[in-house]
């Protein structure tokens, strides 16, 4: 982490995940072999309820909350049940099915079987995540001023 205060805040999230009943699968502590710096182990929680803090808030640290779901409908409901909507990801062998799901998820970008690509497409969120768009033509337009001049001949 960048400084002690940030590491402490993320450790509070890790403690709340344990306290609220999520299963700590790995990590969750400070690496024993790194005495200097503000390091935290990559942390994975399983069996996370979508109602607990580590599922509802943006942690901005090495913590992943794995939320189980029974079917496609529940997965989409969970994905959309958030005040945030920056990015989402679908990992699926059936591309047609994944595209249909992606159209129903309210995030600024949905990656299918891949991750972040800022170079050729706009990136930005919905709801309380992200303002405007970065990357691609739309990102460049954030730095321009468009003027319309109209006259009658």
Tens-level pLDDT at each residue, the chain (153 residues): 999 999 999 999 999 999 999 999 999 999 999 989 999 999 999 999 999 999 999 999 999 999 999 999 999 999 999 998 888 889 999 999 999 999 999 988 888 988 766 555 666 677 777 666 666 666 667 667 665 556 666
Q: What is the pLDDT of residue 121?
A: 63
Sign of the alpha-carbon torsion through 12, 13, 18, 19: positive
What domains, with CATH codes, occur in the chain? 1-68 (no CATH), 70-139 (3.40.309.10)
What is residue 55's predicted lDDT score, i.e. its pLDDT? 97
User: Three-state secondary structure along 28-71?
Assistant: CCCCCCCCCCCCCCCEEEECCCCCCHHHHCCCCCCEEECCCCCC
């Amino acid at each position: 982490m960048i400084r002690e205060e940030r590491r402490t805040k993320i450790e509070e999230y890790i403690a709340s995940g344990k306290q609220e009943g999520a299963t700590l699968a790995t990590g969750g502590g400070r690496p024993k072999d790194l005495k200097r710096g503000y390091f935290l182990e990559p942390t994975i929680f399983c069996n996370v309820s979508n109602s607990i803090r580590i599922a509802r808030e943006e942690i901005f640290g090495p913590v992943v909350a794995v939320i189980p779901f029974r079917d496609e409908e529940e997965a989409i409901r969970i994905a959309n049940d958030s005040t945030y909507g920056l990015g989402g990801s679908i990992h699926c062998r059936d591309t047609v099915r994944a595209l249909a799901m992606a159209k129903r998820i309210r995030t600024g970008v949905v990656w299918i079987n891949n991750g972040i690509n800022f170079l050729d497409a706009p990136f930005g969120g919905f709801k309380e995540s992200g303002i405007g768009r970065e990357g691609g033509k739309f990102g460049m337009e954030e730095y321009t001023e468009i003027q319309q001049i109209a006259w009658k001949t």
